[in-house]
Amino acid sequence: MKLLTVNFLTCAVKSCKSSLSFSSTTNNSSNNPTGELSPYPLHFRDAVLERTEINYNPRFIQNILPRVNWQALSITASELGLLALLPGKNPLDDPRWSAQSNTEADDQHNGSATDRIESQEGKDEKVNLEGEVTTREGTQPEEDENEKDKVLRQLHTLLLETSVSEGKLACGKCGFEYPIKEGVGNFLLPAHLG
């Protein structure tokens, strides 16, 4: 079961579904003043991690990232000991990330990236005395692209290549555990809980 999939799952128990509040995604008292435990995110128990290499697709990661609950992903990564693969903060909170993503999307709709760069060359870039091209912020575009690629690769590894082959997913509210066998979670509930 991929970590990306777990980010979208909640407890299927009827009492948990009715009390689900997406505004409080952790059991932390600062985010949950009532002290009530949350059914989201589900927590791994006795997890056996597995890594399967998948072709790197940066476009997919960029498109799925706005749908990922960053706080829940942080909790899951922390519980599994995978914080090294998680960037320090959500890349979408960085204005440079959003500007680059928007520019790339515009390039796709408004012509090639080369045409776009040529038309904005005088506006966005300057050449310093050493002949290096810099942006208005004073950073080199290659450095920004390398940093962005590094973050995308980390997220690719965490979300798509890392999975749990055996273990359980437990609800933080009711404690019900969903077994995972051979990478597939069993979310069928007993009759008295459905």
Q: What is the CATH number of the domain that holds 49?
A: 2.20.25.10
pLDDT at 16: 84
Cβ-contact 7, 131 below 8 angstroms: no
pLDDT at 13: 87
> Could you tell me if residue 116 is inside a domain?
no
Question: Length of the chain in residues, anyone?
Answer: 194
> Could you tell me if residue 134 is inside a domain?
no
Token output for 41: 């995110």
Where residue 69 falls among pLDDT bands split at 50, 70, 90? very high
> Could you tell me if residue 48 is inside a domain?
yes
Range scoring the smallest mean pLDDT among 27-31, 47-51, 56-60, 126-130: 27-31
pLDDT at 131 over 60: no
With H, G, I as helix, E, B as strand and everything else as coil, classify residue 154.
Answer: helix
Q: What is the rounded average pLDDT of the residues 127-153?
A: 68
pLDDT at 141 over 90: no
CA distances from 134 to 12, 95, 123, 131 (A): 52, 18, 11, 9
pLDDT at 5 over 80: yes
With H, G, I as helix, E, B as strand and everything else as coil, classify residue 53.
Answer: coil
pLDDT at 176: 92
Q: Which domain, by its residues, includes 8? A: 3-93+150-185
Per DSSP, helices labelled H in 26-170 are 58-64, 70-80, 95-110, 113-124, 141-156
> Could you tell me if residue 111 is inside a domain?
no
Per-residue pLDDT tens digits for 44-53: 999 999 999 9
**Whether pTM exceeds 0.85:** no
Per the structure, the count of domains in the chain is: 1
pLDDT at 94: 81
pLDDT at 129: 47
> Could you tell me if residue 159 is inside a domain?
yes
pLDDT at 109 over 90: no
Main-chain dihedrals φ then ψ at residue 54, nearest 5 degrees: -130, 145
pLDDT at 22 over 60: no
Q: What percent of the chain has pLDDT over 90?
A: 47
pLDDT at 163: 95
pLDDT at 120: 44
Main-chain dihedrals φ then ψ at residue 101, nearest 5 degrees: -65, -40
With H, G, I as helix, E, B as strand and everything else as coil, classify residue 64.
Answer: helix
pLDDT at 51: 95
> Could you tell me if residue 98 is inside a domain?
no
Q: CB within 8 A of 133, min separation 6: which ones? A: 125, 126, 127, 140, 141
